Amino acid sequence: MNLKRVVVTGLGALTPLGNNVQDYWKGLVNGVSGAAPITRFDASKFKTQFACELKNFDPLDHLDRKEARKVDLFTIFALVAAQEAVENSGINLDKINGDRAGVIWGSGIGGIKAFQDEVTTFTKGDGTPRFNPFFIPKMIADISAGYISIKYGFRGPNFATVSACASATNALVESFNYIRLGKADIIISGGSEASVVESGIGGFNALKALSERNDSPATASRPFDKDRDGFVLGEGAGALVLEELEHAQKRGAYIYAELVGGGLSADAYHITAPHPDGYGAALVMRNALEDANMKPEDIDYINVHGTSTPLGDVQETKAVIDVFGEHAYKLNISSTKSMTGHLLGAAGAVESLACILAIEHQTVPPTINHFTDDEEIDNRLNFTFNKAQKREVNAALSNTFGFGGHNFSVIFKKFI
């Protein structure tokens, strides 16, 4: 069938580097670390006492106190990022068909703080079941998509994707498919996460997944470095307005990039560890390239999953070399998690924004905190260590991999 073309017409970001797209990009190209001691709770008894929190963010700047009490932070983050993306897109809400506008949003965990707070309150009581009437709506992962659709009157496809750290990329792929199949004209897509809470830090500590470099939070996320010791937990949201090409052109929208392909795969190996040969990671990149009808040498930049974990970074590197062959040494690779930390279910959205902005500005953001080469990693690859690099970027690929073995990749291309 004749598939529609899908373009990006709006961007929104709420990240540990900045509370809008402009500040986020500025932080990326300047190699700023968003990691610092945790301020949201007393973390002194935890093995990890730092994270990549949002800075200077007050929910009451965006919602009144009564409304803010009804929603978890992950939904507030979603609403703020989506608002920036919608405003940035220039959509006139009175002139579009709301029946053909949708919201597909990702979150790996959802309202973890809402759940934690309600259970804590209950266990401290006398056993009488007194629960907030908004407990369930605050907690469920799909609620952000619902709130966004209500706010903008988008009555088309509306649901949440949950695939751990691949959730937001999963949402983008689903949105891409609905638009190119002619099922929608516009979809707000992305992801949000707000897991810098006691149970989030404690749970990932128990898995031995987090860095414990409490003496130097800013250098703790060090993808591909020999001395990496785990990821740094982040929070925030990323939003993209995806639109059918003719619909965007008809309203005179500015087009940032074209979304040309999406890949899916599973490791089918282990609930938390990556496949030792990087099989699922290689498969998902091949699937994305095939979907985009592109060759490996067409890609200029890969924003890798690159979490700064001992196993994950090695396996992803193997997969890149497997798929791209000799071209792997000609393209740029970077892990922006070295700066933002790992935003879990929102990671794919903010990292897709990094790919789009790399195309927009013809600049590859760096992988910061590289101090020592790892002999298990092929350091002939250009990891864009420590400093942004100007280069021609016509096409960029973003990888996200989630617990459970879920893998998603998306490819963005300069619009012509």
Catalogue the active-site residues. 165, 305, 342
Contact call for residues 253 and 401 (beta carbons, < 8 A): no
Instruction: Provide CB contacts within 8 A for 289, sequence distance 6+.
Output: 261, 263, 295, 296, 298, 299, 323, 397, 411
* Contact status, residue 312 vs residue 274, Cβ threshold 8 Å: yes
Distance CA 83, CA 75 (A): 12
Residue 394 identity: N
Contact 381, 320 (CB under 8 A): yes
Structure tokens at 143: 């609620």
Closest by Cα among 5, 77, 12, 412 to 240 = 12
Residue 367 in contact with residue 334, Cβ under 8 Å?
Answer: yes
Whether residue 401 contacts residue 305, with contact meaning beta carbons closer than 8 Å, is answered with: yes
58 vs 62: CA distance, rounded Å:
8
Q: Which amino acid is at 148?
A: I
Residues whose CB falls within 8 Å of the CB of residue 33, separated by 6 or more in sequence, listed in order = 52, 217, 218, 219, 221, 338, 339, 368, 369
Of 348, 320, 347, 345, the residue nearest 333 (C-alpha) = 320
Among 347, 351, 52, 8, smallest CA distance to 193 is for 347
Alpha carbon distance 109, 112 (integer Å): 6
Q: For residues 335 and 409, what is the distance between their CA atoms, to the nearest angstrom?
A: 14
The token duo for 27 is 């932080």
Instruction: Determine how many CB atoms are found less than 10 A away from the CB of residue 297.
Output: 12
The residue type found at 153 is G
Contacts of 74 by beta carbon, 8 Å cutoff, 6+ apart: 107, 109, 110, 111, 112, 144, 192, 193, 194, 237
